[in-house]
C-alpha cells in the first residue's frame, strides 16, 4: 500500500472550515483514499473515502487532486467535538488498513 504523509498537528477555530492535507505520491491506480478519525481512545470512526472523484457526505468533503498524489479532507464547520486524530489511509483490495500517525486536529473556541 502507498504510504501517506500528514502534518502531525493542526489548529482550527470553531465554526471555520478545517482543511486537513494528505500526501500519497506513490498511490497506484486501484488504491482508494480513506479518512478516519479517532477521538481520544475511542475506536476509529470512518469519515469518507474516494478513488479519483471528489466526494461529500454528511460529515465531510474529500478533494483528491487530478494526479491523485494528494488529497484534502474538509470539515466545513468545525466544532469542538471534531477535535481528534485524523488518519489518511490508502489501500487496495487486500483490505489491509495501515494507520500512520495521523494529524491531531484541535478545534479552539
Partner 1 sequence: EAQVTQNPRYLITVTGKKLTVTCSQNMNHEYMSWYRQDPGLGLRQIYYSMNVEVTDKGDVPEGYKVSRKEKRNFPLILESPSPNQTSLYFCASSLTVLGNQPQHFGDGTRLSIL
Q: Are 33 and 47 in contact (CB under 8 A)?
A: no
37 touches partner 1 by CB under 8 A: no
In degrees to the nearest 10, what's the CA dihedral of 96, 23, 67, 63? 90
Q: Which stretch binds partner 1 (CB under 8 A): 3-11, 13-21, 54-62, 100-108?
A: 100-108
What is residue 87's DSSP assignment? E
Among the listed residues 23, 44, 55, 106, the single contact to partner 1 using CB under 8 A: 44
Where are the extended beta strands (E) located within the chain?
Answer: 9-13, 18-23, 32-38, 45-50, 55-56, 61-64, 70-75, 84-91, 103-108
CB within 8 Å of 47: residues ≥ 6 apart: 35, 36, 37, 57, 59, 60, 73, 86
Among the listed residues 3, 15, 46, 54, the single contact to partner 1 using CB under 8 A: 46
Q: Which stretch binds partner 1 (CB under 8 A): 5-13, 18-26, 69-77, 88-96?
A: 88-96
Q: Which stretch binds partner 1 (CB under 8 A): 5-13, 19-27, 63-71, 85-93?
A: 85-93
Among the listed residues 7, 51, 52, 80, the single contact to partner 1 using CB under 8 A: 51
What is residue 5's DSSP assignment? B
Among the listed residues 34, 64, 73, 86, the single contact to partner 1 using CB under 8 A: 34
Residues interacting with partner 1, by CB under 8 A?
Answer: 30-32, 34, 41-46, 49, 51, 91-102
Amino acid at each position: 500500500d502507498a504510504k501517506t504523509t500528514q502534518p502531525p498537528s493542526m489548529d482550527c477555530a470553531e465554526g471555520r472550515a478545517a482543511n486537513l492535507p494528505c500526501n500519497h505520491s506513490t498511490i497506484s491506480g486501484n488504491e482508494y483514499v480513506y479518512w478516519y478519525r479517532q477521538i481520544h481512545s475511542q475506536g476509529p470512526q470512518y469519515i469518507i473515502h474516494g478513488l479519483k472523484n471528489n466526494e461529500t457526505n454528511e460529515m465531510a468533503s474529500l478533494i483528491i487532486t487530478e494526479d491523485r498524489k494528494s488529497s484534502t479532507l474538509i470539515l466545513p464547520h468545525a466544532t469542538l467535538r471534531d477535535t481528534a486524530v485524523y488518519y489518511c489511509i490508502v489501500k487496495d483490495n487486500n483490505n489491509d488498513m495501515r494507520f500512520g500517525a495521523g494529524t491531531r486536529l484541535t478545534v479552539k473556541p
